[in-house]
Chain A
């Protein structure tokens, strides 16, 4: 069974690393969307561990739990995205640092450090490869469209 233990340990390691990465991301990043991604990442780490334990012990418990984790994650995503959207409506930002009204009375608000300049390579925005030809645009229509 040394192989079983060894295999278990491999997956535990991967799960642990995923959990740790998610934790780091959750604590360090400030974009609310990214923070929720990191929370999901932690759930993934846990899921991997559970599945590994389930295989090690040869029962369905781990997989069952992971199914429910999936369920809960879906719920969480729904609620979280709704909340994020609402907060975004209020502030126009996805910055979690904007929302700190729950601090103790009299506490100074957290103030950002100076934000470094954006680098050129960061400005690259994922784009779709253009396919086909560009549609001919009627300048008249373009003139009256409010958005793209």
Chain B
């Protein structure tokens, strides 16, 4: 059993105190509460408490975010993150599908900004153009076509009484687990600058350790248990190795490099993606044509006429 459980209980290795002290944990909780209050449910509530909790969770998340080198960068991250997360929350909390779509588009704008901050300008623009400009607008069209009244009864409720707490709770738990493991591993939570160990995480899932023959120490105690083996990847990860010009990401010549990488190394994938798009196009047309043959059911007349008439 020791082999199975590793050396000592894993719970002990998790920095509980640091987690509790981290604002992120409280942000997750506050966000969960706000969602519980805001997501349409069986009973109508006032929105104010939910909004308060949502604001609190946003603040807590902002406090828990990593620090950037400059205040300007920090501020832009804060603003864009708040925009993204807040409008995403609004998108799922709205009772009207149209509002949801609009809020999602706003969230996509924030995402695009975040992409730009990450040296991914092309993606930022593409997201805004493709998602917000095309996909979401298409969604909006569909919503408008299907639901001329805006929102139907099923928009005002969710599944049975248990579904909402269970879903929100388990999603929060999932998020908490992810943040709670990644944060300490990156050294962001708990203040101890633990070397980020991407290699380490790879090593932890190698077959040898998975088989349980060589118990691999959890990340928190990595240095104590096996310093010599962990030293090399740790330093490698801490200082990314020198790369060729094409591999480096910076602002100069971004598009050219992206394009060259995309059309050289990932050429086949690009072709496959194009083929996939074609297939999806044909499929969508086929589905709609098939559906047309089977329509003309009583009671659905109005929507159809508007779509095709």
- The answer to whether B7 has its CB under 8 Å from any CB of chain A is no
Q: Kindly list chain A residues whose C-beta atoms are within 8 Å of the C-beta of B150.
A: 123, 125-126
Interface of B is mostly: helix
- Pairwise interchain contact B44-A5, C-beta atoms closer than 8 A: no
Closest CB of chain B to A90's CB: distance in Å?
Answer: 7
17 additional contacts (CB under 8 A) given A60-B257, A97-B154: A1-B196, A8-B196, A13-B81, A17-B88, A18-B84, A18-B88, A23-B171, A48-B115, A59-B243, A70-B123, A74-B280, A77-B135, A77-B139, A86-B291, A94-B146, A94-B147, A113-B42
Known contacts A89-B304, A118-B156: does B118 contact A52 (CB below 8 Å)?
yes
Closest CB of chain B to A23's CB: distance in Å?
Answer: 5
Interface of A is mostly: helix
Contact of A9 among B31, B98, B186 (CB under 8 A): B186
- A64 to B288, alpha carbons, bound, how many Å? 32
- A17 to B83, alpha carbons, bound, how many Å? 12
Q: Kindly list chain B residues whose C-beta atoms are within 8 Å of the C-beta of A112.
A: 154, 157
- A8 to B111, alpha carbons, bound, how many Å? 15
Size of interface on B: residues with Cβ below 8 Å to A: 126
- A6 to B185, alpha carbons, bound, how many Å? 11
Of the A-B pairs whose beta carbons lie under 8 Å apart in the complex, a sample of 23, sorted by A's number, is A7-B68, A13-B179, A17-B31, A17-B61, A18-B85, A18-B111, A34-B97, A40-B135, A54-B120, A60-B247, A60-B257, A63-B120, A64-B261, A66-B115, A68-B273, A72-B273, A82-B283, A86-B287, A110-B160, A114-B42, A125-B98, A126-B102, A126-B150
Closest CB of chain A to B61's CB: distance in Å?
Answer: 7
* Chain A residues within 8 Å of B, Cβ to Cβ: 1-3, 5-14, 16-25, 27-31, 33-34, 36-38, 40-41, 44, 47-48, 51-52, 54-55, 57-60, 63-64, 66-68, 70-79, 81-86, 88-95, 97, 110, 112-119, 122-123, 125-126, 146-147
